């Protein structure tokens, strides 16, 4: 292969140089979403707005937060907790089928997200549960939630408050069955 090197033309060298640039550019573009200190790229983070005037002494001062995460850190990660100023208690929940009834419960071991994998938090599935809210959440509010990782790092995500319209009855049932 080395024998061919002397025969490479100026044009070919220019072409190689351009190709080199192109490769560098596309590499930068591909990694653009991997900001330092950001473990997950974040799609559609939203939190269910509270419906009634809030009674903070009530068990009903709770809501769920949802987001689609992609692990861009290059390593497996596990979300082991979450924190938010607006809630006294924040838990990682899963929904389990308990004899035909959907129940929410704290997910043991947290949310494991392998490198480059997606992890979806959706109504009726895994979600971040905020309980004992200290303020009403109105549609359009931005609610900051900090995800805590097993490695001790954190990632802060702003969740947009929305009125929840889809499958309202299911989620209502889930809230009703909540055992906290
Ligand atoms: Cu829950």
Distance 15 CA to ligand 1 centre (A): 57
Distance 22 CA to ligand 1 centre (A): 47
Distance 163 CA to ligand 1 centre (A): 17
pLDDT of residue 159: 97
Rounded Cα distance between 28 and 34, Å, is: 10
Distance 170 CA to ligand 1 centre (A): 12
Distance 140 CA to ligand 1 centre (A): 21
Rounded Cα distance between 178 and 180, Å, is: 6
Distance 2 CA to ligand 1 centre (A): 64
Distance 148 CA to ligand 1 centre (A): 17
- Read out DSSP for 29-98? HHTTT--TT--EEEEEEEEEPP-S---TTSTT-EEEEEEEEEE-SSS-EEEEEEE-TTEEEEEEEEEEEE
pLDDT of residue 79: 98
When pLDDT is averaged across residues 6-33 and rounded to a whole number, the result is 44
pLDDT tens, residue by residue, 25-67: 433 444 444 455 589 999 999 999 986 655 555 556 899 999 9
CB 77 within 8 A of CB 35: no
pLDDT of residue 164: 82
Distance 13 CA to ligand 1 centre (A): 60
Tokens representing 153?
A: 């790092």
When pLDDT is averaged across residues 121-125 and rounded to a whole number, the result is 95
Is it the case that residue 149 has pLDDT exceeding 90?
yes
pLDDT of residue 58: 57
Distance 129 CA to ligand 1 centre (A): 5
Q: pTM for the complete prediction? A: 0.71
pLDDT tens, residue by residue, 58-116: 556 899 999 999 999 999 999 999 999 999 999 999 999 989 988 999 999 999 999 99
Distance 71 CA to ligand 1 centre (A): 23
When pLDDT is averaged across residues 14-19 and rounded to a whole number, the result is 46
When pLDDT is averaged across residues 1-25 and rounded to a whole number, the result is 46
Distance 76 CA to ligand 1 centre (A): 25
pLDDT of residue 19: 44
């Amino acid at each position: 292969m080395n024998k061919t090197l002397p025969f490479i033309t100026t044009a070919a060298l220019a072409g190689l140089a351009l190709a080199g640039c192109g490769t560098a550019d596309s590499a930068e573009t591909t990694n653009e979403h991997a900001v330092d200190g950001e473990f997950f790229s974040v799609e559609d983070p939203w939190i269910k707005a509270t419906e009634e005037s809030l009674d903070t002494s009530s068990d009903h001062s709770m809501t769920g937060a949802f987001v689609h995460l992609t692990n861009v850190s290059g390593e497996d990660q596990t979300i082991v907790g979450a924190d938010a100023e607006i809630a006294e208690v924040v838990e990682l929940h899963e929904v389990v089928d308990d004899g035909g009834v959907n129940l929410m419960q704290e997910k043991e071991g947290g949310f494991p997200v392998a490198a480059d994998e997606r992890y979806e938090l959706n109504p009726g599935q895994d979600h971040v549960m905020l309980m004992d809210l200290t303020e009403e959440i109105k549609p359009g509010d931005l609610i900051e939630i900090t995800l805590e990782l097993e490695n001790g790092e954190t990632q802060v995500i702003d969740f947009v408050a929305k009125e929840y319209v889809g499958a309202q009855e299911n989620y209502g049932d889930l809230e009703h069955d909540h055992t906290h």
